[in-house]
């Protein structure tokens, strides 16, 4: 598959991840299940598409530091629903921190430090 395909898939999963995270934060506890599923699926798709992008740019075997940092951010974003469930009083800080993580991941993808 092409670089463009993986890029669109990765960005679509990113949008879906943040949308589902917002829904998980704001929807009543008994109505969260579909958004939790959507969050999990989008997290997986984002990972697969990210590795597809790495393969297309020739970095499938040798990762730079920025890739490892993005994987850590990916894990943190994947864990956010658990944090929201355990600490519902931290909804706004968790969402703001998630946005900051997304911005950091985006800058790493753009600049590849």
pLDDT value, residue 63: 85
- In the chain the beta strands, taken as DSSP E runs, fall at none
Mean pLDDT to the nearest integer, 80-105: 95
Instruction: Kindly report, residue by residue over 22-80, the tens digit of the pLDDT.
Output: 999 999 889 999 999 999 999 999 999 999 999 998 887 788 899 999 999 999 999 99
Alpha-helical regions (H) of 1-113: 3-26, 33-56, 65-86, 91-111
Mean pLDDT estimate for the chain: 94
pTM above 0.75, yes or no: yes
């Amino acid at each position: 598959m092409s670089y463009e395909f993986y890029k669109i898939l990765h960005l679509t999963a990113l949008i879906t991840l943040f949308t589902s995270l917002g829904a998980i934060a704001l929807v009543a506890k008994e109505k969260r299940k579909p958004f939790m599923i959507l969050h999990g699926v989008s997290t997986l798709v984002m990972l697969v598409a990210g590795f597809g992008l790495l393969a297309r740019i020739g970095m499938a075997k040798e990762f730079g530091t920025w890739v490892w940092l993005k994987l850590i951010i990916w894990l943190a974003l994947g864990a956010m629903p658990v944090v929201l469930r355990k600490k519902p009083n931290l909804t706004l800080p968790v969402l703001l921190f998630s946005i900051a993580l997304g911005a950091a991941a985006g800058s790493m993808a753009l600049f590849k430090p």
